[in-house]
Structure 1
């Protein structure tokens, strides 16, 4: 079996006790080629663009952003939208399979995507530029299970931003999942009608999601269920000065209603007006 055939036939492996797999590095074994090939069925680019609207693009334009680092590119949805809107974009991901798919998708839209395979915890080793904005979207930050890893990644993002830069980081509403049980409108992120998505196991240290497609193929992702206020606290402690959190892209919401939260974290230092 040659290497390419071996890669195509690779299957997810969570061992005998899947709910005990709680390592930050395991995501690379979860995004196997078969799952990556189906990822766009889950996203449904057209429906997601409609649900998201221009919120992210407007947030960036309001701040005069020109250069963006998309650190969780996935199959390229956000990077392509940013390119279409005229931003200069560097697209990074820890999964080589995702980057290959993203590059192919961008070419179909007429763009030559600039890609970098990089681990968030050592971003500055692979990327030697500064950015007006960094995007970490698609619930990707929840792949980090260790608080030290989360703090290290946020510190790397902070260092790659210009003095007045902004970080946009999103997450599922794990507070609602942990406290109220799972429900989803599938209106903003995972919009594909042909995919069944739900958490097969949830505790304070793990949310194990099951993804079942029309051809009966099944894949899983093990993620850390970040609580909203915990994420905000980490952002503050790493150095971000002001943080605004949107619920399903809205500023006003009831805590248990949104499927997703979007944290808009400002790096710019603002002196106390009373000083």
Structure 2
């Protein structure tokens, strides 16, 4: 049975910030990079942004902090609840709703920008589901609006099919937290089950927290083709070296009728 994506992120919501050595610094840095990508294509000023995979708010809070009008949605009710709380704690307005990206509950042409960052789209495991999500993102964008996706560098990953990802370490008042992943590849050599481990200080030892989910390792060609098939135009990739964002970013335009 494929693990539930909602269960994965509901379970991770309280601990998600521990992935980062400094979550607030990461929010600010990622927002600066994404804002630059948006402004280069739509111009300066405040934009109406939907972050349709907002999680606990890593990108959404940062973009709202730099002046965009952001709404956050995510499959996980626990994650969006935390996003709203974290935004309010920082004095930032961030309306949120729990919603599946394949069925976005927003009116047509409501946004200038739709963001789907941090490797969220690859949780969808079939072409039909990917197309449904992208078609919905296109529907809620205004004419000539901008789609902004980020995913792992799956071209590189598919070449080597690693069994794990490098550990990440953050520091809390109770001590260091270690986060790492094990990857179990399917027979199709495109999809993999992920075991997400966090070692959290517990007295003189460790508490081990494990969550599981599944990804489709979409290459640039697969994702570009899917975006174009969904009716977008002007699709292009931006590497971390040029964008400053930590993952490859794909942008595309809704296009005019």
Which category describes the TM-score, using the shorter chain as reference length?
0.7 to 0.9
- What secondary structure, in the 3-state scheme, does the structure 2 residue paired with 1:41 have? helix
Whole-Å Cα distance in 2 between the matches of residues 248 and 181 of structure 1? 21
Distance 1:97 1:48 in 2: 21
State the Cα distance separating 1:224 from its structure 2 match.
1.4
Deviation at residue 149 of structure 1 after TM alignment: 0.9
> For each residue in 1:42-79, what CA deviation from the matched residue of structure 2 results, as whole angstroms up to 9, or x when unmatched?
14424524764722111222313611001011001111
1:187-228 deviations in whole A, cap 9, x for unaligned?
Answer: xxx785733323321242422222222322222221111111
Instruction: Say if 2:176 is the partner of 1:197.
Output: no
Partner secondary structure for residue 233 of structure 1: helix
Match of 1:61 among 24, 29, 39: 39
1:52-91 to 2 correspondence within 5 Å?
Answer: 52=30, 54-62=32-40, 63-64=42-43, 66-91=47-72
Equivalenced residue count is 237
Match among 91, 108, 112 for residue 89 of structure 2: 108
Secondary structure at the counterpart of residue 196 of structure 1: strand
The range that moved more, 172-181 or 238-247, is: 172-181
Match of 1:127, SS state, is coil
Match of 1:167 in 2: 147
TM-score (norm: length of structure 2) = 0.82
Partner residue in 1 for 2:204: none
Structure-2 residue corresponding to 1:7: none
Matching of residue 260 in structure 1 with residue 247 in structure 2: yes
2:201 matched to 1:218?
Answer: no
Distance 1:251 1:32, change over 3 A: closer
Pair 1:136 & 2:116 matched: yes
Task: Tell me the equivalent position of 1:207.
Answer: 192
Counterparts of 1:98 and 1:267 in 2: how far apart (Å)? 28
Rounded Cα–Cα distance in structure 2 between residues aligned with 1:169 and 1:156:
14
Gaps of 5+ in 1: 1-19, 253-257, 271-275
- Structure with the larger strand share: 2
RMSD: 2.6
Find the residue that maps to 2:103 and give its secondary structure.
helix
State which of 216, 224, 239 in structure 2 corresponds to 1:247.
239
Q: Determine if contact 1:173/1:259 at 8 Å carries over to the other structure.
A: no
Task: Judge conservation of contact 2:115–2:149 (CA < 8 Å) in 1.
Answer: yes
Q: What is the match of residue 233 of structure 1?
A: 225
* Structure 2: 5+ residue stretches without partners: 172-176, 201-207
Aligned to 1:27: 5
Aligned 8 A contact 2:53 2:101 in 1: no
TM-score by length of 1: 0.77
Contact 2:10 2:79 survives alignment (8 Å): no
